[in-house]
Amino acid sequence: MTEKTFRIPYGESSIYGALPERTRIIKNTNPPIPALPELAQAVRDALNNPIAHDPLSKLVNAKSKVTIAFDDAIGHFIAENKPGFREVAVKVILEELDKLGVSSHNIRLVCAIGLHRKWTRGEMAGILGADLVYRSSPSWLFNHDPEDKENMVFLGETHRHQEVEVNRLVTESDQLIYVSHPFCQFNGGWKTVVVGLGTWRTQRHHHRPFPTAAGKSSIDPKRSAFFKLLNEMGGVIEAELAKKGRRVLVVEGSSNNRLPQDVVQVVAGHPPEAHAKGLEILDRQLVVDVNGQCDVLIAGMGNGRDPYSYLSISNPITVRNLALSYTYGLFQNVPLVKPGGIMIVCHPCIRQFDAVHYPSYIELFEKILPDLKDGNEVWDLYAEDFAHRPEFVHKFRYNYAFHGAHSLILYGQGIYAQKHLSRVFLAGATDFEAARRVGFEPFVSLEDAIAEAENAMGKDCSIDYLDMPELFFLSRVNAEKS
């Protein structure tokens, strides 16, 4: 059998794998859009010419109280040229507010973490620059804390009874400005405020596993119910702010598809309309058209693509999510692999945990998954417990841990791939029991995994390889071959 040899991402390193000659290689060949010549000026221009919004000069005055929220490190974690978009945008906004007479005493900077872990001053310096962070007091620049009940506000429900609760600064500021830098179609738009400045009470409605969900990808904005829910929740926020004649102003940067990434567009405005412009860039840079589905999908998984282990180490649950959400789920229209097909991912899946950042992950892996693996049942039995357990709440608020329920969110997202696929193979597994515990069938080598896939699907089964060494990209799949 003739083979093709590829260097395949594999955790912190890579392996060489032999793929059958008939393997179809799926890769991103979209040419990168050139960088903006002057990023700071692009931010100023966007603030002066926003989409579906008044310019900044008409939104604030010397007495205004302004909150500037920004994506956390997970919100945009892929390497970018320095200074990064959030650093430049926040500093330009501060300069413009100063020109308009807004006192620094009336400004707050908030890292919008949602239910992610909080970020240390040193880590935030990597987002905003050391000069700004280290001269800022903790009362002026801080992490959103969804467990700080006194500083959260409940705004009501959508028509589907989805509860909307956000940071009080969203409604009590004269102007909320959100600096957003989506790295893929999963981010941006109303998700910035609803999720980034929201609480468990809100996130449990749309970040939970849905047993009867159709399985559309959450990075397919035109089809996914995820975005419909977020937009409905954003409508509740919009209606509340309209009572005071206010609107959220988002400043969104879009980057190209090469590393380190350059910003190629900056827009400002009302979240849905501004984000629509950002989605156009993401589609041009990240979406690849593919004709026909495959029987077997092969992908390498480098830790550099895992947002949840950024500045830490991967663990079996983040590896599961990287495979079943951020590899399988990289599609629009229909999955790249046929119903009942097999996915092979390459990763060591080491049994290791960062005890500071992932305490609830350890409990899920060590105490629950040995006996219960169904993502829906795990959620139903343990989500509220993990969300409210005092030790998890304390570690989230004061010791830089992910929210207690975050481990269940990541684990539950894997149900859609498991429902669609017949089997998921982990090639290069270093701990077979750990791999099985999070839903993989382990194999020593990629060649062994391919042999078993061919045994199950037929010697002539169609095979696709996602050639994705560093950046995410999406396959827009036409189910029928041309």
C-alpha to C-alpha distance for 50 and 357, rounded to whole angstroms: 38
Report the pLDDT value the prediction gives residue 479, as an integer from 0 to 100: 84
The sign of the torsion formed by the CA atoms of 383, 388, 393, 394 equals negative
Tell whether 419 and 333 lie within a shared domain: yes
Integer Rg of the chain from CA: 22
Q: Are 249 and 175 in contact (CB under 8 A)?
A: yes
Task: Find the CATH number of the domain harbouring 360.
Answer: 3.90.226.30
β-partners of residue 324 are none
Report the pLDDT value the prediction gives residue 247, as an integer from 0 to 100: 98
Reduced 3-state DSSP string for 431-444: CHHHHHHCCCEEEC
Report the pLDDT value the prediction gives residue 481, as an integer from 0 to 100: 62
Tell whether 219 and 312 lie within a shared domain: no
Tell whether 322 and 217 lie within a shared domain: no
Report the pLDDT value the prediction gives residue 19, as an integer from 0 to 100: 96
pLDDT in tens, 299-322: 999 999 999 999 999 999 999 999
| DSSP code, position 243 | T
Which residues have CB under 8 Å from 431's CB, separation 6+?
349, 350, 351, 442
Q: Are 263 and 254 in contact (CB under 8 A)?
A: yes
Tell whether 312 and 444 lie within a shared domain: yes
pLDDT < 70: residue spans in the chain: 1-2, 481-482
Last residue of a domain, one of 285, 316, 336: 285
Tell whether 327 and 220 lie within a shared domain: no
C-alpha to C-alpha distance for 28 and 154, rounded to whole angstroms: 43
Tell me the residue range of the domain where 474 lies.
3-30+292-478
Last residue of a domain, one of 238, 262, 285: 285
Tell whether 296 and 267 lie within a shared domain: no
Tell whether 137 and 276 lie within a shared domain: yes
Tell whether 269 and 405 lie within a shared domain: no
Give the pair of three-digit tokens for residue 130: 């050391």
Report the pLDDT value the prediction gives residue 75, as an integer from 0 to 100: 84
pLDDT in tens, 108-125: 999 999 999 999 999 999
C-alpha to C-alpha distance for 41 and 53, rounded to whole angstroms: 19
Tell whether 204 and 353 lie within a shared domain: no
Tell whether 182 and 46 lie within a shared domain: yes
Tell whether 465 and 332 lie within a shared domain: yes
Last residue of a domain, one of 246, 262, 285: 285
How many domains does the structure of the chain reveal?
2
Please tell me whether the overall predicted TM-score, pTM, comes out greater than 0.85 for this model.
yes
Report the pLDDT value the prediction gives residue 482, as an integer from 0 to 100: 42
Tell whether 275 and 359 lie within a shared domain: no
Give the pair of three-digit tokens for residue 20: 């059958």
Task: Find the CATH number of the domain harbouring 170.
Answer: 3.40.50.11440
